Structure 1
Amino acid sequence: MLQHLFLGSNKFSSKFPLSLWKMSGLLYLSVSQNSIEGELPSDIGGLKAIIKLYLYSNHLSGVIPTRLGELQNLQSLDLSNNSFFGQIPLSFANLISLESLDLPLNALSGTIPKSLEKLSYLKRINVSFNDLEGEIPSGGVFAISTLQSFLGNKGLCGMHILEIPACAITNPGKQLKLKEVLLKIVTPVIIASFLIFLFVSIWIMKRQKKGKSKDLEKVPEIGTRQLVSYHEIQRSTNNFDESNLIGEGSSGSVYQGTLFGGTAVAIKVLDLENEQVCKRFDTECEVMRNVRHRNLVPVITTCSSDYIRAFVLQFMPNGSLENWLYKEDRHLNLHQRVTVMLDVAMAVEYLHHGHVTPIVHCDLKPANILLDEDMVAHVGDFGISKILAISQSMAYTETLGTLGYIAPEYGSEGIVSASGDVYSYGIMLMEVLTKRRPTDEEIRNGNLDLRKWITQSFSGSMMDVMDANLFSEEEQITC
C-alpha cells in the first residue's frame, strides 16, 4: 500500500531490488543523487500508478526501457545525469499525462521523436548535453522551449529556436522549390505589406491633422464630454434616494445612477459645507486631466455649480477591495488577491513614471481600490493627490492620508513622495494576503509592532495556502 518513497541524497549503490517494480500502488518515487549502477530493467513498467519518477544523478547505464511508455499516469520523469545511451524511446509518445521530461547529461543519440509534439500536457523538456542530431520538432512543447533545453548537442538544428543553426537542405530540388516560394509568395507579401503600411501612415497623418485621433486606451477623459447638469444628476439618482446610495465617507457620498442613454454610473457627490472637500475637488480634477490608464477608475465627466460638486465615474459592480476582504458573504482566493495587487501595482507604476509629471496618490488603501465586472482592480479617489514638479522628487503638505497606511515621514513631517505610495502599497499587500487590518487594536495600541504583525499573519496565511491545495504534497513538504 506504500504510495510515497523518497530515498534521494544518500549513498545507496549496487542495483535496484526487483521487488521495487512490483509496487503497483506507488505514486512518487525518488532515488536521485545516489550511486546506483546497472541498467534500468523493463520491469519498471509495473509501476502502473506512478505520477512522479526521479532517478537523476546516479550511475545508471544501458538503453532507456521502452516499457516506460506504459506509465500513462506519469507526470514528471527525470533521468538526467546518468550514462544512458541509445535513442529516446518512441514509446514516450504514449505518456499522455506527462508534464515535464528531463534527460540531460547522458549519452543519448539519434533524433528527437517528432511524436512528442502530440503530448498536450507536456510543458517542459530538457535533452541538453547528449549526442542527439537532426531537426528539432517545432510543434507542442518545442514551440515554447528555449536554447537551454538543447545545449551540448552539436548535431541538432532547427529554425524556430534562436542560436540553433538551421538545418541544411541537401536536396537540390527542395532548394529550387524554396526559391520559387520566395519569388511567388514572399515577395508579393512584402510588397503588399509595404503598400498597406504606406496607406495606413497617410490615413493616420490626415486624421491627426483634422484633430480626430481617438484615445488609444478608450478611457474617458475630463473634457471629452459635456458637463452634466445638476438636474440630470438628480434624475439619475432619483433625487439622491437612499436606495441608490452605495457608499459614504468624510468627503461626501457615492450614488449609483443611470444617465440618459442607459449608461450605469457611480456619482461621487462632495459635501460643499466642507471647504477642504471643495479643494479636493479641484485637486482631483487636475489629476484626472493628466492620467489615463486601464487600472485607474475612469472619470466620465463632472458637475460643478453653486449647488453641487460631483464626479460621474464608471460604475464598478463588484465594489471595493475592502468589502471583498472583510464581508462574510465575499471571498477572494489567493490567485485573485495576487492578481488584484498586480493591477494596483501597474496603476501606481503609471502614476509615478507613466508621464512627464509624477503623481503621488497619498491615500492607497483597500477602500480606494474598486473592482469591475471582470474583477479587474481600479485605483480611485485622488482627492489628496500631489502632482510633483519635474525637478522635485518630494513635496511638503499638511494633508494626511489614512492612519495605518501612511509612511512614517509623511505622518510625522508631511513629506510626500513616490516612496510613500510604495510604503502604503506594501502595507496593503500584507493586509490583502493576511486579511488583517494594520489598524487592528493590538497594532494601534502598540502591543504588536509591524514585524510581529507580518510574522503572525503570514503563519496563518501559509496554512491557508496549504489547505487550498495550490501545491503538490512534495512542494508543501519543501515549504
Structure 2
Amino acid sequence: MAGNRDLSNKLAEKTAVFGFKLWVVICVAVCFFIILILFFLSIWVVSRKKFRMLATVEKLHSTASIPADSKEIREVKVDTVNRSSGGSVILTITDNTVDGTAEKVMVRVGVSRKVSLSGDKCSSKGNSDEVVENRSLLQDLGAKLIPHSGLSVEEQEERACAPESNGIYPVISSGELSTDDVHFGWGHWFTLRDLQIATNGFSKSNVLGEGGYGIVYKGRLENGTMVAVKSLLNNMGQAEREFRVEVEAIGRVRHKNLVRFLGYCVEGTHRMLVYEYVDNGNLEQWLHESSNSLTWEKRMKIIIGTAKALAYLHEALEPKVVHRDIKASNILIDSQWNAKVSDFGLAKLLGAGKSHVTTRVMGTFGYVAPEYANTGLLNEKSDVYSFGVLVLETITGRDPVDYARPAEEVNLVDWLKVMVGNRRSVEVVDPNLNEKPSPKVLKRVLLIALRCVDPESEKRPKMGHVVHMLESEDFPYRDARALLSS
C-alpha cells in the first residue's frame, strides 16, 4: 500500500516542463512517440503504393520477357536516335541473330498517320518524342524493319514515307486517327475500352469464329471502320507468344493479298490483334459449306492471289516469313474475290543465310509437308507444299484427307496423281462447278499443283515461279511423267 502511495505521489509531482505533473509529461511523450511511428509508417505506405503504381504502368506499356520457346523472336536493341528533317525519328537498330552476328539497320519511325508527300520529302504531324519515350515497347515487341536490298539510307527513308511501297511500311493504321496516339510504326495502340465499345462488349452475337488460339469478334471503330478483333486466350503464356509472333510476322508488311494489320491491345493480361474486316467468308466455307459454287474464274483468282501473297512473304521480305498454316479456312475472301491470307499465329521467320529452322511440327493435318512432319525441319518449301494441296482442294472441292471416301481416295494428293496419270483429269473437277475449264487449262493448273506437292522439297518451285506459271499460258508439260511417278 505504501509503495503505491509513493508512486502516486511521484506521478503527481510537478515537473520543470511548464509545471506539468509527471504523469502528464509521460502521456504526452508516449503519444508523441506513437504519432511519430504512424507518420513514418504512412510515408512508407504511400511510397509503396507509388512504386506499385509505377510497376503496373510499366507492365501495361511493355510485355513480359520472351519465353524460351517463343518461336525464335529475337531482341532488337535500339542504339542511337537521330531526328530527320521531316520531323520523324531514325533509329539505329542492332539485330543480334541466332548465330551471334549483328546487323545494323536504319529505321524511320514516328511518322504521323496523316502523311503528305512533297517532292522527295515526307512531312509529319506526329509527336516524335512519344516514339523515343516508348522505345522500350518497340524493343519488347521485336520491331524490325529491314532495308530494301541495294538501297541507300536516303532511298529507304523515301520508301518509308511512301504509302504503297513494297519495301518498308513503318506506319499502318485504321484511318484518321489522332496524332496524340502513342505509336511507333505498327498501327494504332487500342485500349481495352476502345475494343469493348467496338465489339459491343465482346458480345456473342459479334463472334466471327473461335478456336484454340482464342476468339475473333466483328467490330466497328468510332470512325466507322469495320474490323476483326482477335482476342488471344491467355493459356500458360500462349497468348504472349502468339501475340509476339503475329505482330512480328505481319505487323511490318502490307500487301493486297495479306489481311491488313491495323493495331493491337496490350492491357493487363489481355492480348488482342486488330485486322481489317474481310466480309465475304473464307475459301473453306465457299468450297465445302456454301450452296453457291465458286466459278472457275473466281477459284483461279483466289489461287493466284494466295500465290502472290506467299511469294511476297518468301521473296520480298528479309527475314522471310514462313506462314506454316496455309489452308482453306485461312484464306479470307473479300467482295471482289481477292484472297487475303490470314492467321500468322504459327509463322516463323527465316533469316538470311538460313536454309531452314528446326521447330515443333505444327499445322493442319493434310496440309503439312512430309519432310517437315518427319524431321521438324521447316523452310518456305513447306508453305509451297501446303499451297499445292490448297490448289488441289480448290479444283476438286474435296478435303485433303477424307476418311468417308474409299481407301484409294482418302488422301487427295495420292488420288490426284493416280487420276492424272491415268489421263482422267477431267473427272477430278468439283462436280458443283457449273462451267468446267478446258482440258488444257485444267491440266496446266493440276501439273503446277503437283509440282508444289513434290515429295522432294528441293524440287518444288519457288512461289514467285508458281505465280509466273499460273499467269502464263505457256507452261511446259514435258515434266508431267516425272511428277506423276514421284
Normalising by the residue count of structure 1, what TM-score does the alignment of the two structures yield? 0.52
State whether structure 2 residue 187 is matched by structure 1 residue 225. yes
Which one-letter code corresponds to 1:324 in the other structure? W
User: How many percent of aligned residue pairs carry the same amino acid?
Assistant: 30
Distance in 2 of aligned mates of 1:210 and 1:417: 32
Which one-letter code corresponds to 2:415 in the other structure? K
Q: Deviations over 1:203-223 (max 9, x none)?
A: 214658899824215986373
Q: Give how far 1:399 is off.
A: 4.4
Aligned to 1:310, the other structure's residue is in SS state strand
| Change beyond 3 A, Cα 1:225–1:389 | closer
Q: Give how far 1:460 is off.
A: 3.1
Find the counterpart in structure 2 of residue 215 from structure 1: 163
Judge conservation of contact 2:207–2:216 (CA < 8 Å) in 1: yes
Distance in 1 of aligned mates of 2:390 and 2:378: 18
Q: Deviations over 1:181-232 (max 9, x none)?
A: xxxxxxxxxxxxxxxxxxxx98214658899824215986373433111111
Which one-letter code corresponds to 1:221 in the other structure? I
| Change beyond 3 A, Cα 1:425–1:210 | closer
Distance in 1 of aligned mates of 2:344 and 2:406: 26
- Out of 270, 277, 287, the position equivalent to 2:249 is 287
Judge conservation of contact 1:430–1:454 (CA < 8 Å) in 2: no
Which one-letter code corresponds to 1:242 in the other structure? K
Find the counterpart in structure 1 of residue 383 from structure 2: 421
Find the counterpart in structure 1 of residue 427 from structure 2: 460
Unaligned stretches of 5+ residues in structure 1: 1-200
Find the counterpart in structure 2 of residue 203 from structure 1: 119
Distance in 2 of aligned mates of 1:430 and 1:249: 25
Distance in 2 of aligned mates of 1:224 and 1:290: 7
Judge conservation of contact 1:265–1:315 (CA < 8 Å) in 2: yes
Distance in 2 of aligned mates of 1:338 and 1:210: 35
Judge conservation of contact 1:407–1:423 (CA < 8 Å) in 2: yes
Alignment of 1:22-171 (within 5 A): none
Unaligned stretches of 5+ residues in structure 2: 1-116, 124-153, 174-184, 444-486
Higher relative contact order (CA 8 A, sep 6+): 2
| Change beyond 3 A, Cα 1:240–1:430 | same
Find the counterpart in structure 2 of residue 371 from structure 1: 333
Distance in 2 of aligned mates of 1:328 and 1:231: 36
Judge conservation of contact 2:188–2:262 (CA < 8 Å) in 1: no
Moved more, 458-467 or 351-360: 458-467
Distance in 2 of aligned mates of 1:463 and 1:411: 29
Q: Give how far 1:406 is off.
A: 0.5
Q: Give how far 1:235 is off.
A: 1.2
Q: Give how far 1:470 is off.
A: 5.2
Judge conservation of contact 1:217–1:293 (CA < 8 Å) in 2: no
Aligned to 1:427, the other structure's residue is in SS state helix
Find the counterpart in structure 1 of residue 72 from structure 2: none
Alignment of 1:283-362 (within 5 A): 283-362=245-324
> After TM superposition, where is structure 1 displaced by more than 6 Å over at least 4 residues in a row?
208-212, 443-447
Aligned to 1:410, the other structure's residue is in SS state helix
Judge conservation of contact 2:361–2:373 (CA < 8 Å) in 1: no
| Change beyond 3 A, Cα 1:434–1:454 | farther
| Change beyond 3 A, Cα 1:309–1:335 | same
Judge conservation of contact 1:246–1:254 (CA < 8 Å) in 2: yes
| Change beyond 3 A, Cα 1:328–1:216 | closer
Q: Give how far 1:400 is off.
A: 0.7
| Change beyond 3 A, Cα 1:359–1:212 | closer
Judge conservation of contact 1:334–1:465 (CA < 8 Å) in 2: no
Aligned to 1:233, the other structure's residue is in SS state helix
Moved more, 452-461 or 379-388: 452-461
Judge conservation of contact 1:359–1:387 (CA < 8 Å) in 2: yes
**How many equivalent residue pairs?**
275
Q: Give how far 1:358 is off.
A: 1.3
Distance in 2 of aligned mates of 1:362 and 1:320: 18
Q: Deviations over 1:103-132 (max 9, x none)?
A: xxxxxxxxxxxxxxxxxxxxxxxxxxxxxx
Distance in 2 of aligned mates of 1:426 and 1:301: 32
Q: Give how far 1:313 is off.
A: 0.4
Judge conservation of contact 1:269–1:310 (CA < 8 Å) in 2: yes
Which one-letter code corresponds to 2:339 in the other structure? A
Which one-letter code corresponds to 2:289 in the other structure? K
Which one-letter code corresponds to 1:215 in the other structure? P
Q: Give how far 1:350 is off.
A: 0.6
Moved more, 236-245 or 287-296: 287-296
Judge conservation of contact 1:434–1:458 (CA < 8 Å) in 2: no
Aligned to 2:251, the other structure's residue is in SS state helix
Find the counterpart in structure 2 of residue 451 from structure 1: 414
Distance in 2 of aligned mates of 1:373 and 1:466: 20
Q: Deviations over 1:393-449 (max 9, x none)?
A: 210001411111010111121111111000000011100110100121157978744
| Change beyond 3 A, Cα 1:444–1:345 | farther
Find the counterpart in structure 2 of residue 383 from structure 1: 345
Aligned-residue CA RMSD in angstroms? Answer: 3.3
Q: Give how far 1:307 is off.
A: 3.7
